[in-house]
Chains A and B, each alone.
Chain A
Amino acid sequence: MKRIGLLAALVALTAISAWAADQAAAPAPAPATPAAPFQFFKPAAGQDISGKYWIKYYSAKIQPTGGGELPYKPEFMELYRKHQTAVAASAEIIPEDQARKLCTPDGVPRVLQNPYPFEIIQTEGQIHILYELNKIIRLIKMDEPLPDDMYLLTFPYYSGHSAGRWEGDTLIVQTGGFKDYTFLDNSGAPHSDQLRVTERYRKINDGKELEVVVNIHDPGVFTADWSTRFVYDSRPDLKIMYWNCGETHRDIKGVAGVVVPN
């Protein structure tokens, strides 16, 4: 009997030791609630341009403020005319126009004139503009300056690299570092890798519209800077649709100025 009791105690003590060792090795389970709950970003008063937008008037050829032709150097005006002729010739896509053929990003400012909706998302330190067309993503860094010219030349993006800041109720976005084989508009306007674009975004008409004033600086192809302007309707009713190249997309016949090829 005594031996049975001793044996039971020995077994129990062995089990306790093993359990204690097991507890020491097992990782503590992660607590269910994180230490700092997430806080949604709240833009400052007058600096909320988030939402969904759709262009009011579409024009295939970008319209410089004050009218007239784009101030191209002669050799680039010749190239522009060549593209315009090819684009106007048929509904087929010209080989140079990768944005329409392969749905690569349109570049800036061409993407601003497109007849499909887009959305602006403001979060801490950054603004994203997500375009339905070609599922283009633009990132505007709000807490970093634009990279230097060498970086922009070495790592160009279709949509360029963008840095933004607020001046009152106006978001100012500076963009550089573009791939030089995009067009400036849908009529085939060329540019160089020296392109720098400044956009000014602000709500107008009691917040029902968004205005974007664009300044184009490209001494590689132009004799002078020039500017243009786009206006969009605020459309909180919209959902941005997914875009797969070559498939049927949203009906845009209702957008003023759009001509849908047969």
Chain B
Amino acid sequence: MKNGILIAGAVAIVVVGAALVLRNSGAEAPAPEQQAAGPVAHMSSGPVPDFSSDKLGWRQNNRGGDNTGFNPIPGDDSTRLILHHPDFPYAQNVVNRVGDFTSPLLTPWAAKILEERARKVMAGGIPFIPNSRCWPGGVPGLHFFPAPIYFLQTEKEVWLLSNRGEVRRIFMDQAHSADPGYSWYGESVGWYENGNTLVVDTIGQDDKGPIDRYNIPHTKQIHVVERFTMNADRTEMNVIITVEDPGAFTQPLKGLMRYTPATERGATEKTEWEEYVCNENSEEFFIPADQLVPVPSATKRDF
């Protein structure tokens, strides 16, 4: 009897221990290390995930988190974000964001610029928000435009259309060009992985716009990798965003934007793409003009 109880106890401990090992080995493998931009093309592998059929739109939905900014990646200690300055109030204010210019993730150059922008907001100034003044979002800034996005998928190219009138182009299964130049959205190349992920690698962005609504600056060295991963029943899409820029950041920034299918409030129908023209009716009647960045406009014809 005594020996039987001892044996039962030992067996139970072994079983529990084995179960714990099995649970850990069922955890997802860590994401592959970020590929550096270079001349080698990344080729897609596995089935092509369906981001686009049925004209599906995707809307930002971070489940109580920030729908117009980076979010931490749950359970991932490689998350690196520059968020709201801890000494200032209105931490959850969507509009009047004050970036943490004391973050060790910022180079001295970037910290100085962010401090200027942050102190202007704290003094009552109006922050610059690209989509509010009809400026491009860039990458990753377009994720923080409060509007659904739509994918168009063909074999050679993927387009992201924003319901804010913006278009991103991703060239599939090819390398970056030798001289992509510099532009608002840079040059994006992409490939599919694991049957559920679109990886997008972007270089060649000029340094005109901020990376997010905290107005964090960047340089032309910026290199962004986005991993769009969709679940099997197309009800959720997580985008892990990594931003490298040795001119602005001491380490790569890394965060999450989560999307769910776009629907009108209270309805189950998909939200359709609509024509949206930001520049119309852009006069401002309540804020002095010298506090606002002008909307883009032309004075001379190109033709």
Contacts and interface: CB of A to CB of B under 8 A. Distances in A.
Interface string A19-31: 1000100000111
A6 B273 CA distance: 67
Interface in B123-147: 134-136
B55 A125 contact: yes
A8 interface: yes
A38 B49 contact: yes
A38 B53 CA distance: 8
B232 A31 contact: yes
Interface stretch (B83-91, B92-100, B216-224, B294-302): B294-302
B207 interface: no
Contacts of B6: 1, 4-5, 8
Interface residues of B, number: 65
Given A34-B47, A35-B232, A137-B165, A19 B297 contact: no
B152 A12 contact: no
A91 interface: yes
Contacts of B12: 8-9, 12-13, 15-16
A15 B14 CA distance: 11
B184 A242 contact: yes
A98 B277 CA distance: 11
A247 B165 CA distance: 17
Contacts of A60: 303
B231 interface: yes
Q: Tell me the dominant secondary structure on chain B's binding face.
A: loop
Most chain A CB atoms below 10 A, which of B50, B53, B279, B303: B303
Interface in B172-222: 183-185, 194-196
Interface in A79-124: 91-93, 98, 100-105, 114-115, 121, 123-124
27 contacts: A5-B5, A5-B8, A5-B9, A6-B9, A8-B12, A9-B5, A9-B8, A19-B20, A34-B50, A34-B234, A37-B47, A38-B49, A38-B50, A91-B301, A101-B297, A101-B299, A102-B295, A104-B280, A121-B152, A121-B159, A139-B273, A158-B275, A158-B277, A159-B275, A242-B184, A245-B279, A246-B299
8 A-B pairs with the lowest CB-CB distances in the bound complex, closest first:
A12-B12, A8-B9, A37-B47, A38-B50, A245-B296, A9-B9, A5-B6, A33-B195
Interface of B: 1-2, 5-6, 8-10, 12-13, 15-16, 19-20, 23, 26, 28, 46-53, 55, 134-136, 152-155, 159, 161, 165-167, 169, 171, 183-185, 194-196, 230-234, 273, 275, 277, 279-280, 282, 295-303
